[in-house]
Structure 1
Amino acid sequence: MSPNGQSFLLDPEKRAGPTRYSHARVVQPSTHHTIYVSGIAAVAPDGTYEGVTENTDGTFTIDVKQQTAAVLCRIESIIQGASNGKANIYNVVDATVYILDMNTQYADMNEEWNKIWSDRASAPSRATIGVRELPDPRFAVEIKVTAIFEA
C-alpha cells in the first residue's frame, strides 16, 4: 500500500489520459495522523514571489509551471516539518487546486503535478477549480492538501 493509503479507481483498466489523480483514497484513521495544509501559493518565506517576473512598466509575467513547482515544494516542506520528517508529498491523500485561468494555465499546472505523481494509483484525489482571483494578483495557482502518515 502507498504511504497515502489505498487508491480507488472507478475504471482501473481505462487509460489515465493527461491527468493523474485517484478517484478516492482509502485510509485507516485510527493508525494515522492527519495533516491539513492551508492553501499555499508561490510566495517564499522572504516575501519574494516565485514564478513572477516584474516588468519595467509595473506589470508582471507569471510562469504557472514555476509557481506550481514552488507550491508543491513548499507543501512538501510543510508536511515534512509538521510530521517531524515522517511524511512527505507522497502522503497527500486529497488536494484542491485553485487556478486563475483553466483555459491557458491548467495544462502547465497539470504538467508540474504529473512530475510528482507519475501514475493514478499513487496520486491523491484532486479537485481543480477555476477562480476569478486569488489573494495576490501575482498568484496564478494555490493548492490546499490533506496528508496522512502512520502514527
Structure 2
Amino acid sequence: MSPNGQSFLLDPEKRTGPTRYAHARVVQPSTHNTIYISGIAAVSPDGTYEGVKDNGDGSFTVDVREQTAAVLRRIDNIIKGASNGKADLYNIVDSTVYILDMKTQYADMNAEWNKIWADRASAPTRATIGVRELPDPRFAVEIKATAIFEA
C-alpha cells in the first residue's frame, strides 16, 4: 500500500487513458497523523518569486511549469518539516490546485504534477479549479493539500 493509503477507482476495468488521480484514497485515521497544508504559491520566505520573469517595463511573464514545480517543492518541505522527516509529497491524500487559466495553463501544471505522481496508484485525489485571480498577480498556481503519516 502507498504511504497515503489505498487508491480507489470507480470501475477501473472500464478506464482507459493516463488518468493520474484516484477517485478516492482510503486511510485508517486512528493510526495516522494528518497535516493540513494551506494554499501555497511560488513565493519564497525572502520574498522572491519563482517562475516569474520581469520584463523590465513593469510587466512580467509567468512560467506555469516552473511555478508548479516550485509550489510542490515548498509543499514537500512543509510536509517534511511538520512530520519531522517522516513524510513527503507521497503522503498527500487530497489536494486542490487553483490556476488562472484552464485553457492555457492546465496542461503545463499537469505535466509538472505528473513528474511527481506517475500513476494513480500513488497520486492523491485532486480538484483543479480555474480562478479569476490569486492573491498576487505574479501567482499562476496555488495548491492546498492534506497529507497523512503514521503516528
Q: TM-score, normalised by structure 2?
A: 0.97
- How far the C-alpha of 1:12 sits from its partner, in A, is 2.0
Query: What is the deviation of 1:45?
Result: 1.4
Task: Verify: 1:44 aligned to 2:44, yes or no.
Answer: yes
Which residue does the alignment assign to 2:131? Answer: 131
Structure 1 residue 89 displacement after superposition? 0.3
- Write the distance in 2 (CA, Å) between the matches of 1:146 and 1:113: 16
1: CA distance, partners of 2:37 / 2:111: 22
Structure 1 unaligned blocks of 5 or more? none
C-alpha contact (below 8 Å) 1:16/1:120 kept by paired residues = no
Per the alignment, in what secondary structure is the counterpart of residue 144 of structure 1? strand
Residue 108 of structure 1 pairs with residue 108 of structure 2: yes
Same amino acid, percent of matched pairs: 81
- The TM-score with structure 1 as length reference comes to 0.97
Name structure 2 gaps, 5 residues minimum. none
1:62-96 superposed Cα distances (whole Å, 9 cap, x missing partner): 00000000000000000000000000000000000
Deviation at 1:121, TM superposition (A): 1.1
CA–CA distance in 2 between the matches of 1:60 and 1:111?
23
**Structure 2 CA distance, aligned partners of 1:56 and 1:113?**
30
What is the match of residue 5 of structure 1? Answer: 5
- Find the counterpart in structure 2 of residue 23 from structure 1: 23
Aligned position for 2:73: 73
Distance 1:103 1:89 in 2: 26
Within 1, Cα distance between the matches of 2:103 and 2:48? 27
Where does structure 1 differ by over 4 angstroms across 4 or more consecutive aligned residues?
none
SS in 2 for 1:10: coil
State the 1:112 CA deviation: 0.1
